[in-house]
Amino acid sequence: MAAQVRRSLIALAACAAGFAAGCGAEEGGGDPATRSDKLVDFTQKPPFVNAMVPENGGESFLLTTNRGFFRVRDGKEPERIRGTVKDEQGSSPVGTFLEIDRLSDTELVGSGHPDKERPLPPYLGFMRSTDAGKTWKVVSRLGEADLHQIRREHGKIYAFDAVLGAILISENGGKDWTERFTPRELVLDFVVDPEDPDRLLASTEETLYRTTDGGNGWRPAMQVKAARLDWPEKDVVMRADKDGTFFVSTNGGESFRRTGRLPGEPYKVSAESTEKAFVALSDGSIYETTDGGKSFERRYRP
């Protein structure tokens, strides 16, 4: 228990110090000669891209970066979504460094930081929007949790809290949470087995970890390079490493085979099947594969 408390205090201090930079610890950002700075401010520290949610099979995408919250589609100017978060303590614009997940056409869940330092605390906890991100209401953990990843599986909500250093699990829509502490390194991404609610993979800057008991115990599975993950179907895990190398596992992450390569640093992987996935790069460019990562076609360029 004492070790967990110490980890929490360390994470809190580190995150508070990096608030203006989005609480990130990653480095890099792709090839400076080819990346665009239209949606991303590369003069700031990472993370550059926080969330990418495909809409209508990839006709458009919800994209959140360290410059704000956008709806993007190829050949069109980005549509900025200007949101406001409200609570009893007050309200603030929100959109920069925002983690989101989509429940329906108009309903989103999210977490992050207010765009103004006051009157709300720097950590917004778990939020919900019923008007596509225009207004947000805090559901739980205001001032306590900074959820860098949110995933829904098995009727539950799973999230990684960078303040506590733990996977949080809710069975009642985010009102209450169970805490499962993760390895000491900052978790960059995690995925849940669609067949087993207790089986998860989590990536850090250098290691892929595995748990088979819902996060009570973790063990290193293999060395990786800041891997971004998705788990679309039974036993199929897709992985994109920092150098752009794309991998696929067909045995639940026990082993991976290299299938192809992306033209930049990946930040988000959203897989729809064993063959189809979208990947957002560090500058907000979005690529699609329809052959399991063997080849990629650009779907959006800032």
Each residue's pLDDT tens digit, 249-291? 999 999 999 999 999 999 999 999 999 999 999 999 999 999 9
**The predicted structure's pLDDT at residue 117:** 85
**The predicted structure's pLDDT at residue 274:** 94
**Spatial separation of the C-alpha atoms in residues 125 and 112, rounded to whole Å:** 7
CB 69 within 8 A of CB 59: no
Over range 118-137, report the average pLDDT: 96
**Spatial separation of the C-alpha atoms in residues 262 and 281, rounded to whole Å:** 9
For the chain, give the longest Cα–Cα distance.
Answer: 54
Answer whether residue 69 shows pLDDT above 90.
yes
Answer whether residue 6 shows pLDDT above 50.
no
Number of domains in the chain: 1
**The predicted structure's pLDDT at residue 32:** 62
What band does 33 get if pLDDT is binned at 50, 70 and 90? low
**The predicted structure's pLDDT at residue 257:** 98
Pick from 1-10, 73-82, 84-93, 154-163: least confident? 1-10
* CATH number assigned to the domain comprising residue 13: 2.120.10.30
Over range 123-139, report the average pLDDT: 97
Pick from 27-36, 79-88, 128-137: least confident? 27-36
The range of the structural domain enclosing residue 284 comes to 2-300
**The predicted structure's pLDDT at residue 23:** 54
**The predicted structure's pLDDT at residue 105:** 87
CB 113 within 8 A of CB 136: no
Over range 87-100, report the average pLDDT: 93
Quote the DSSP letter at residue 47: P
**What rounded mean pLDDT belongs to the chain?**
90
pTM above 0.75, yes or no: yes
Q: Which of 225, 138, 163, 140 is closest to 189 using CA atoms?
A: 225
Hey, is 73 helix, strand or coil?
coil
Answer whether residue 195 shows pLDDT above 50.
yes
